[in-house]
């Protein structure tokens, strides 16, 4: 079983345990968030779901994303100049963000795993959450600007 399937089954079990119905539309939203590494906004999620379920409303997408967010199963990435994007990986991790096309990419830097614990230890904080982001211009945007 791959990591996306395992993650999907974990979230489904948690939704059921919390008494949430698993409608086909809700499952479609969940699948988009779990498999997609694009960090989509609600409207983009809606476009993916609408392809298979044309009668789905935007309100259904908002409700489902909010349920998943409240359960801690998706991470909301809000930016001052853009609408919120959602990450199906709720564990804090660093991101690369293109300031031109707004593409968000996960990055894996093992050395950063200890950073929140070290900050908490040094400063006496109880770290609840954190975000670590690198802003720049992606290779595709660099090519188009040349």
* Domain range for 32: 3-87
Q: What is the pLDDT of residues 106-129, one digit of tens each?
A: 888 777 778 888 899 999 999 888
Are residues 78 and 10 part of one domain?
A: yes
Are residues 141 and 82 part of one domain?
A: no
pLDDT, the chain, mean: 89
Are residues 121 and 67 part of one domain?
A: no
Rounded Cα distance between 146 and 135, Å, is 19
pTM of full prediction above 0.85: no
* 93 token code pair: 């991790």
Are residues 71 and 16 part of one domain?
A: yes
Question: Which helix or strand (DSSP H or E) is residue 77 part of?
Answer: strand 75-79
Are residues 69 and 107 part of one domain?
A: no
Tell me, what DSSP letter sits at residue 78?
E
Are residues 66 and 29 part of one domain?
A: yes
Q: What is the pLDDT of residues 21-50, one digit of tens each?
A: 899 999 999 999 988 778 999 999 999 999
């Amino acid at each position: 079983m791959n990591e996306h399937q395992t993650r999907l089954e974990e979230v489904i079990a948690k939704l059921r345990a919390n008494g949430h119905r698993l409608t086909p539309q809700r499952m479609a939203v969940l699948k988009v968030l779990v498999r997609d590494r694009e960090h989509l906004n609600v409207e983009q999620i809606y476009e993916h779901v609408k392809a298979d379920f044309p009668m789905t409303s935007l309100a259904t997408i908002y409700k489902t994303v909010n349920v998943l967010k409240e359960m801690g199963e998706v991470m909301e990435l809000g930016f001052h100049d853009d609408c919120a994007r959602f990450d199906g990986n709720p564990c804090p991790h660093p991101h690369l963000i293109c300031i031109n096309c707004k593409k968000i990419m996960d990055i894996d830097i093992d050395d950063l795993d200890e950073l929140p614990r070290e900050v908490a230890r040094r400063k006496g904080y109880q770290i609840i959450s954190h975000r670590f982001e690198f802003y720049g211009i992606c290779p595709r945007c660099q090519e188009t600007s040349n």
